[in-house]
Amino acid sequence: MQLSSSVSINHCDSGLEYLQVDSPLCQARIFLQGAQLTQYTPACGKALIWMSEEEDFQSGKGMRGGIPICWPWFGVHQHPDWPIHGVARVSLWRAEEVQETQDEIRISLSLPMTQVDPEYWPHKTKLKVEYVLSAKQLEVRLTNTNQDDHQIQLTQALHTYFPTPDITQTEVDGLQGAHYIEFGEGPFEQQEVVRFGRETDMVYSGAGALQRIRTPDGTIEVERENSRSCVLWNPWVDKSKRLSNFADDEYHRMLCLEAANVLDDKVELAPGESHTLGTIIRWG
């Protein structure tokens, strides 16, 4: 893979390899483990991605923050001893291509299927993620291609962590009219903007393509492509104490709003068919 003038390869203290983007357009970091973006700060200078200060970036372990890629299932599998949120986020991806122009930087990575235990995923598929970074926004595109001779089915999510200086002064607009399931109960219809005063773990169906996260630092716009479902999450007080690589009070400074294909929105691919899950985030 040929790098550009703004992209370099580095290693963190634990030895994990990442791509570092230092450009007049933005600052960004993408780990090869999980193809996980852990930093995106556009030219305006305000970070759009949250990472836990407790994260130590260990091999084979999910990272707390950034944009974990949940694939080929989201959440707990029907086999409860299988990895939560699938295997992509802890697998070693391959950096394929970097393209840089005056207006944007495109970085694509693929998951070699030799990295995936066939017990978990016995199908012939291609999985690619592309990050399009500019001075104003970040676009993420996760593409599945069925290379097998039978139909396949999967669920997935781009588990994006967003920053806020105060979760109690934060609200999410644009989910009104959608239906959600929370803690195994529902579906319920979302009537108003969402505000936070307790643990939140809502899985939405029929959500509109654009949501706005209003924080004391400004409004974050989150768009989704080929996604009629999304997930809203904050662990609040008690669960924060049980999470790994997460300080007890960090729930106060983050939330997740995830572009997803879950529940009735699962992906079904005929032989030769492709599907791209996309999300675009920016300061509004």
Q: For 122-176, how does the pLDDT look when each residue is reduced to its tens digit (9 = 90+)?
A: 999 999 999 999 999 999 999 999 999 999 999 999 999 999 999 999 999 999 9
pLDDT of residue 2: 78
pLDDT band per the 50, 70, 90 thresholds, residue 3? confident
Reported pTM: 0.97
Q: Burial, 284: exposed, middle or buried (Cβ in 10 Å; 0-12, 13-18, 19+)?
A: exposed
Mean pLDDT of the chain: 97
In the chain, what are the domains?
Answer: 7-283 (2.70.98.10)
pLDDT of residue 5: 87
Select from 155, 161, 136 the least CA-distant residue to 67: 161
Q: What percent of the chain has pLDDT over 90?
A: 97
Other C-beta atoms closer than 10 Å to the C-beta of 184 total 6
DSSP 101: -
Buried b (16+ CB within 10 A) or exposed e, 264-282: ebebebeeeeebebbbbbb
pLDDT in tens, 61-95: 999 999 999 999 999 999 999 999 999 999 999 99
Is the pLDDT confidence value at 223 over 80? yes
Record the tokens describing residue 263, joined without a space. Answer: 């529940």
Sheet holding 171-173, edge to edge: 94-100, 104-110, 125-134, 137-146, 274-283, 218-225, 210-215, 171-173, 194-195
